Amino acid sequence: MAGVRLDKVRKVYPNGHVAVAEASFDIADGELLVLVGPSGCGKTTLLRMIAGLESISGGELWIGDRVVNDVAPKDRDIAMVFQNYALYPHMTVQENLGFGLRLRGQPKEEIDRRVAEASDMLGLNERLSSKPAALSGGQRQRVALGRAMVRDPAVFLLDEPLSNLDAKLRLSTRVEIARIHRRVGATMIYVTHDQIEAMTLGQRIVVLNGGVIQQLDTPMNLYNKPVNLFVAGFLGSPAMNLFHGTLRRADGLSLQMAEGTVSLGVTSDALAAYVDKPVIVGVRPEDLQLAEANGVATRLHAHLEVVEPVGNEIFLNMRYAGGEIVSRAPPHSVVQPGTDVALGFAAERLHFFDPETTCRID
Ligand code: ATP
């Protein structure tokens, strides 16, 4: 097992495109770290550089206690699991699982032992003599995981391993990966564009945009204290509501919005520096409540346009003086599209951002 360290790792493609600007972070031995970001943000490039499938244009990449910039992929002690799991169709599950070890000339007893161990852990014992064509997508992906596991690598690299599975399988295989990580205790780097996968699997998450690391933090810190507007908008579904306002000083701080001014009752030195300046205010849909139903003070009025019941809750899509706004309400809330509603929020649940730098004001 080993940790991984990136020190100012950079990737410039031959056409001059900077895919990864300068990435520096550590992945602890045994940690499951997720790289997440929108399409084209550089997450696959970063993973492929760690795997050795893509050259590194600058900086140093460490696996364990050695710099591996110029080490061939096969000598890096890593195993990679891709989204298209590329099993050998003519081999049985057992043969697929053991193939990498056979290639390395491992003794048969050792191969059998490791294959049995992986198959046990992944629940594949019943399918060992099946060919890939006879397996479900989830089972195939488990074989692909098993093939990586039998090699007992220092680091697992997973590139969107669940994206070819349907929603239900994606969920169960996601739980499977979390379970395997706990049992094997291996270092794992997991690439996804899916924020739910990132939040549920990652012990820590790197949010990338345009080749630049935006924030590296625990899932809850990313959600509760996004460092900038990009992270605030990327994590959370429906996304955080954002609106323009100006901070004023009356009795303590107040927030002047399109609709009127509300007292915040909170203050901080950082916020006080923005008095009489424009700010962008963020409020998560779950922190914006129907005022009458919840006994919270009304802060703004809105017109309810679309009601979306999703089973365990309802999304309320509204329009107010400052634009569109979404809130989440309990499943049995009495709401009618086409009516006016009063909304409230707790001042301490607001997020403030600088409109110019887009950075969080804390
Ligand atoms: P996706 O989720 O769509 O796979 P990603 O975040 O994994 O996206 P990368 O595949 O790492 O993104 O690509 C990062 C950027 O580098 C993109 O703008 C992409 O177009 C560009 N890129 C990727 N490969 C090359 C290449 N061989 N030559 C030039 N540019 C490339």
Fold of 4-234: Rossmann fold (3.40.50)
Q: How far does the centroid of ligand 1 lie from the alpha carbon of residue 82, in Å?
A: 16
Residue-wise pLDDT for 253-284, tens only, equals 889 988 788 888 777 889 989 999 999 999 99
More confident position, 176 or 10: 10
Distance 232 CA to ligand 1 centre (A): 23
Residue 219 vs residue 137, higher pLDDT: 219
Q: Which residue lies with its CA nearest to atom 22 of ligand 1?
A: 19
Instruction: Specify the residue with its C-alpha closest to ligand 1, atom 9.
Output: 42
Query: Is-contact 327 288, C-beta < 8 A?
Result: yes
Q: Please tell me the predicted confidence (pLDDT) of residue 249.
A: 87
Angle at 53 between CA 50 and CA 54, to 5 degrees: 80
Q: Are 124 and 144 in contact (CB under 8 A)?
A: no
User: Is 19 near ligand 1, meaning CB less than 6 Å away?
Assistant: yes
The number of the ligand 1 atom at minimal distance from the alpha carbon of 48 is: 11
- Name, in order, each residue with C-beta under 8 angstroms of 331's C-beta and a sequence gap of 6 or more: 309, 311, 312, 313, 314
Q: What is the pLDDT of residues 290-337, one digit of tens each?
A: 987 777 777 889 999 999 999 999 999 999 988 899 999 999 888 899
Q: Is the CB of 23 inside a 6 Å radius of any atom of ligand 1?
A: no
What does each C-alpha distance from 302 to 125, 239, 240, 341 come to in angstroms? 57, 18, 17, 5
Encoding tokens for residue 296? Answer: 């919270």
CB of 53 sitting under 6 A from ligand 1: no
* pLDDT, position 97: 95
Residue 226 alpha carbon to ligand 1 centre in Å: 25
17 CB near ligand 1 (under 6 Å): yes
The predicted pLDDT at position 360 comes to 97
Q: How far is the CA of 57 from the centre of ligand 1 (A)?
A: 15
CA dihedral 85, 89, 90, 96 (to 10 degrees): 20
ipTM exceeding cut-off 0.95 for this assembly: yes
Which CATH number fits the domain 241-353, given the four candidates 2.40.50.140, 2.60.40.420, 2.60.40.1080, 3.40.50.620?
2.40.50.140
Q: Give the position, in ligand 1's atom list, of the atom nearest the Cα of 193.
A: 2
Domain positions in the chain are 4-234, 241-353
Please tell me if the domain spanning 4-234 has the same topology as the one spanning 241-353. no
Q: Which stretches of the chain are assigned E, i.e. beta strand? A: 4-12, 18-27, 32-36, 58-63, 66-67, 78-81, 155-159, 187-192, 204-209, 212-217, 241-250, 252-256, 261-263, 278-283, 289-290, 300-309, 314-320, 323-329, 340-344, 351-353
State if residue 162 touches ligand 1 by the CB under 6 angstroms criterion: no
- Cα–Cα distance measured from residue 350 to residue 204, given in angstroms and rounded to the nearest whole number: 24
Q: How many residues are given for the chain?
A: 362
User: Rounded to whole angstroms, how far apart are CA atoms 340 and 272?
Assistant: 34
Beta strands 278-283; 32-36: pairing state: unpaired
